[in-house]
Amino acid sequence: MIQIKKNISLAPLTSFKIGGPAKYFLEAKNADEVIEGLKWAKKNKIKYFVLGGGSNILISDEGFNGLVIKVQPAKIFFKNLSGVISAGTSLAQLVGASIKDGLTGLEWAAGIPGTLGGAIYGNTGAMGHSISESVEKIKVLRNSALINLKNKDIKFAYRKSIFQKNKDVILEIELKLQKGDREEIKKLIKENLLKRSLSQPHYPSAGCVFKNLSPRLTSLGLAKLLEKYPELENFKKSGVVSAGWLIEKCGLKGKQIGQAQISEKHANFIVNLGNAKAKDVIALINLVKKTVKNKFDFDLKEEIQYVDFK
């Protein structure tokens, strides 16, 4: 029998520490409880939302007028380099288990908050890697039926998966890693954590707000831009224009609306200085998009997901 709670504050369950309450809230311990929760929502004609670690979302100040389902973590076991992991497992737990078992392939994920389910949804990545590289199969709940998907079915791309288009609930992920040297793994993780600590702000945030772009996406023409900003040559080579670089060049670092601020440390982060509201973050996002469009003719797209904005 599932236990549905009422009027649960969501802000503490997000890394931004922003957002109103969930009208209904379920902590699902297993697939059966997720199924029961979905049935309950259907019967009561209530919409639902699956919450992971809340580290890539902005929840509206009014909250979520429906059922929030949080998939709980389960114990991690790797056997013969493969492990079947619950979607609710945090990336931190997973990186810890890979160190313990001397498995390589997830060092890039050290220091990224959130769960494996959320990472699959947005194909989370860093340092030139992404979670898609380690995924073998995924078990999801689709219209109350359990189905297994192979890596190629998920249509992973840069910060993309099919889950952004459908309403599947991700339940379990089969990951495959490689045998590595435990000391080398630890060393790389330590280096990656240091890089993060030096480059990222320490205030509450949802990580990078905008996706990076392809240099081809400006109608001004890259040649004109390169004349003005020779640094863009680096981006041409790497194939990616950093959204943070564009925002910084617009002079927006440090810009504040209410208690939300474009980080002084990393221009692609919006930070909560204390009591920021979702509406302040939205106002900053709109300002950034408009300014970048006017200066560079690039259309920035959000990496973060919005929850329940009308």
Ligand X SMILES: Cc1cc2nc3c(=O)[nH]c(=O)nc-3n(C[C@H](O)[C@H](O)[C@H](O)COP(=O)(O)OP(=O)(O)OC[C@H]3O[C@@H](n4cnc5c(N)ncnc54)[C@H](O)[C@@H]3O)c2cc1C
Residues that bind ligand X (CB under 6 A): 15, 49-57, 71, 87, 112-115, 117-119, 121-122, 124-126, 163, 169-170, 200, 205-207, 305
Q: Which is nearer to ligand X, 119 or 281 (CB)?
A: 119
Q: Which is nearer to ligand X, 122 or 225 (CB)?
A: 122
Alpha-helix residue ranges (DSSP H) falling in the chain:
31-43, 91-100, 116-121, 182-199, 222-228, 232-238, 243-249, 278-296
Contacts 24+ apart (CB under 8 A), 230-239: 239/214, 239/215
Q: Which is nearer to ligand X, 31 or 225 (CB)?
A: 31
Q: Which is nearer to ligand X, 232 or 270 (CB)?
A: 270
Q: Which is nearer to ligand X, 121 or 210 (CB)?
A: 121
Instruction: List CB contacts of 205: < 8 A, sequence separation 6 or more.
Output: 15, 16, 263, 269, 270, 271, 272
Q: How near is the Cβ of 219 to ligand X at its closest, in Å? A: 27
Cα atoms in the 13 Å half-sphere on the side-chain side of 265: 15
Q: Which is nearer to ligand X, 204 or 215 (CB)?
A: 204
* Other beta carbons within 10 Å of 165: 9
Write out the DSSP string of 170-226.
EEEEEEE-EE--HHHHHHHHHHHHHHHHHHS-SSSEEEESB--B-GGG-TT-HHHHH
Segment holding 148, helix H or strand E: strand 145-150
Q: Which is nearer to ligand X, 51 or 285 (CB)?
A: 51
Q: How near is the Cβ of 73 to ligand X at its closest, in Å? A: 11
Q: How near is the Cβ of 51 to ligand X at its closest, in Å? A: 5
Q: Which is nearer to ligand X, 4 or 34 (CB)?
A: 34
Q: How near is the Cβ of 304 to ligand X at its closest, in Å? A: 8
Report the sign of the C-alpha dihedral through residues 102, 106, 107, 112, in that order: negative
Residue 250 Cα to chain centre, angstroms: 25
The residue type at 81 = L
Contact by Cβ (8 Å): 52, 87? yes
Q: How near is the Cβ of 112 to ligand X at its closest, in Å? A: 5
Q: How near is the Cβ of 295 to ligand X at its closest, in Å? A: 26
- On the 0-12 / 13-18 / 19+ scale of CB atoms within 10 A, 310 is exposed
Q: How near is the Cβ of 264 to ligand X at its closest, in Å? A: 15
Q: How near is the Cβ of 88 to ligand X at its closest, in Å? A: 7
Nearest residue to 48 via CA among 66, 21, 75: 66
